[in-house]
Chain A
Amino acid sequence: MPYIPHTEKDIAKILKAAGAQTVDDLLGGLPSSLRLKRPLDLPKGLSEQELKKTLRDIAAGNSTVSGYSSFLGAGAYNHYIPAAVDSLISRSEFYTAYTPYQPEISQGTLQAIFEYQTFVCQLTGMDVSNASLYDGATAVAEAVLMARRLTGRHRILLSSALHPEYRETVETYLKGTADHLTEVAYCAEAGTTLLEAVESMAGDEPACLVIQHPNFFGCLEDVEKLASIIHAKKGLLIVVTNEAVSLGMLKPPGALGADISVGEIRSFGNALSYGGPYLGFLSTKTEFIRQMPGRIIGQTLDKHGNRAFCLTFATREQHIRREKATSNICTNHGLCALAASIHMACLGQTGLKRLAGVNLSKAEYLKKKLLSIKGVRPGFTSPTFNEFTVRLGKDSDTVLRALLEKKIFGGVALNRFYKPLGDYLLVAATEMNSKEDIDLFASELSKAL
């Protein structure tokens, strides 16, 4: 769509209709102290060629995973995106269509979202998935709101091993309610949610317990045990997955007692992109479907008996239910969900299992190499998938800065989120890290210590 500014004639017409002489008259209601009273201080316009060069120069100042060897994770894992993904999502039928408001005419888009939902259910072992949400953090917050509606209760337990930014998002969503948000401590040795703490903090009427698996430290939680504790108090278990590739290997949350399985599925088909757009998924049991936020694409038959797709459950969305809607975010991440579906379809069941296997092996190799360095100790004792913690015996920020000089993103310093964990480093490995990269990282780390 071209950008067409107002012409002088347009402006005159608008002013006349508004009963104003000048544009300044229209702004008369604003306090004078807030008005700029001089033209904006902008540089002169550039030609297209100059502009492209300027932007390229600015972009060259960024350090990205393409120029560096990256061991960053913490919710944003570096994965390979097959060429088929960009090629297919760039088809104009997909690329230009926003969430369709006259949905049934866009059968291709609906079929793609239906397939996305199917993949999510297969990965999570749940009955039903919605058509996607914005990102992992908001998906978790939506799951908490859903648990409140389902239970009518207001005591919410968040594992302190849940991604700290996800916890902040839940807090933001619940601001203004009288809800009781409680953080459940993690075990300092195992790095997993403390079972006894859940037991003692749940009270009589918990709405839900939110855990992450693998958790923020990369540790695998005892999901079944946690499920039985919260279910005994008739609360719901929300299991968060922020590395969806782990579902290629781990038991699905649905098989472990999750009532709502939710999280981030950007790892499939979507770029890291400095934090957005990401892709939230939310899946649950059939019995909870009417409190599930967002929409579902259903499969049905048209009047000739042909397979067809339709938008269902939009009746509970904001444009129809207003303030009583199941969610106030009334959309899905169509193109990102499509990209994820194409990647998953390319992998297939075997490919997905192999990808998860490669991630585990790379991370285990990295773990072995790092722990062989003098002064490096394991952070926690629990088993992990493609991410884990180590203790450096030295302030991790200083070490990371030294590694950055060698073009290595050495991981995330946990003191950013957990003050007492000053020498803990959270590191991830994926299929993107070659053996040479890992060996180099280990040797540079040993020099930096």
Chain B
Amino acid sequence: MEFPKDLKYTKEHEWVKVEGNVATVGITDYAQDSLGDVVYVELPTEGGSVTKSEPFGVVESVKAVSDLYAPLSGNVAEVNDAIVDSPEAINDDPYGDAWMIKIEIGSPDELADLLSADEYQKFIEEEK
């Protein structure tokens, strides 16, 4: 299982890639592996806003339906509609093709709450 060092993570198993004022968000390799085959994903609409720790969408696998939690607050700048049509990308390439939304970071202070790759890995070891 991979946890790229250049990404930040949350305890809700989302990854965040910060580039300037924009954060790209997806779910981690660990999350997709635990969910099993993903069959459906529901994402917000562009132009809306998300709030840190609040659900912004839903991911459904054959086993469960889980909420996606926003790692940061801000406006939704872009949505990856391609994965709505091919949700299997979430299993195949969670850190690449299967990015979910891009957030225009509203409160930069919140970045401090995100976990590093090492911290996240330690967290999921403890969760197991």
Residue in B closest to A315 when the chains form the complex, CB atoms: B65
Contact between chains at B40 and A320 (CB < 8 Å): no
CB within 8 Å of A: which of B59-76?
60-65, 67
Contact between chains at A290 and B64 (CB < 8 Å): no
A297 to chain B, nearest CB (A): 15
Residue in B closest to A290 when the chains form the complex, CB atoms: B40
Q: In whole angstroms, how far apart are the Cα atoms of A343 and B42 in the complex? A: 40
Query: Contacts of A324 on B, CB cut-off 8 Å?
Result: 65, 67
Chain A 266-307 interface mask (CB, 8 Å, partner B; 1/0)? 000000000000000000000000100000000000000000
Q: Select one of B42, B64, B67 contacting A315, CB under 8 A.
A: B64
Q: In whole angstroms, how far apart are the Cα atoms of A320 and B66 in the complex? A: 9
Q: Does residue A321 face the partner (Cβ distance < 8 Å to B)? A: yes
Query: Contacts of B64 on A, CB cut-off 8 Å?
Result: 315, 320
Query: Contacts of B40 on A, CB cut-off 8 Å?
Result: 290
Query: Contacts of B63 on A, CB cut-off 8 Å?
Result: 315
B91 to chain A, nearest CB (A): 16
Q: How many of chain B's residues have a CB under 8 angstroms from any CB in A?
A: 9
Q: In whole angstroms, how far apart are the Cα atoms of A315 and B67 in the complex? A: 12
Q: Select one of B42, B61, B62, B65 contacting A321, CB under 8 A.
A: B65
Q: Does residue A333 face the partner (Cβ distance < 8 Å to B)? A: no
Q: Does residue A316 face the partner (Cβ distance < 8 Å to B)? A: yes
CB within 8 Å of B: which of A320-353?
320-321, 324
B62 to chain A, nearest CB (A): 8
A343 to chain B, nearest CB (A): 34
**Which one of A315, A320, A324 has the greatest number of beta carbons of chain B within 10 Å?**
A315
B49 to chain A, nearest CB (A): 15
Q: In whole angstroms, how far apart are the Cα atoms of A320 and B58 in the complex? A: 14
Q: In whole angstroms, how far apart are the Cα atoms of A321 and B42 in the complex? A: 15
B48 to chain A, nearest CB (A): 12
**Which one of B40, B63, B65 has the greatest number of beta carbons of chain A within 10 Å?**
B65
B50 to chain A, nearest CB (A): 16
Residue in B closest to A310 when the chains form the complex, CB atoms: B62
Q: In whole angstroms, how far apart are the Cα atoms of A150 and B40 in the complex? A: 16
Q: In whole angstroms, how far apart are the Cα atoms of A360 and B74 in the complex? A: 61
CB within 8 Å of B: which of A368-420?
none
Query: Contacts of B60 on A, CB cut-off 8 Å?
Result: 290, 315-316
Give 16 pairs: A residue, B residue, CB < 8 Å, sorted on A.
Answer: A290-B40, A290-B42, A290-B60, A315-B60, A315-B61, A315-B62, A315-B63, A315-B64, A315-B65, A316-B60, A316-B65, A320-B64, A320-B65, A321-B65, A324-B65, A324-B67
The 4 residue pairs across chains A and B that have the minimum distance between CB atoms = A315-B65, A316-B65, A315-B64, A321-B65
With A290-B40, A315-B60, A320-B64 given, name 13 new contacts (CB 8 A).
Answer: A290-B42, A290-B60, A315-B61, A315-B62, A315-B63, A315-B64, A315-B65, A316-B60, A316-B65, A320-B65, A321-B65, A324-B65, A324-B67
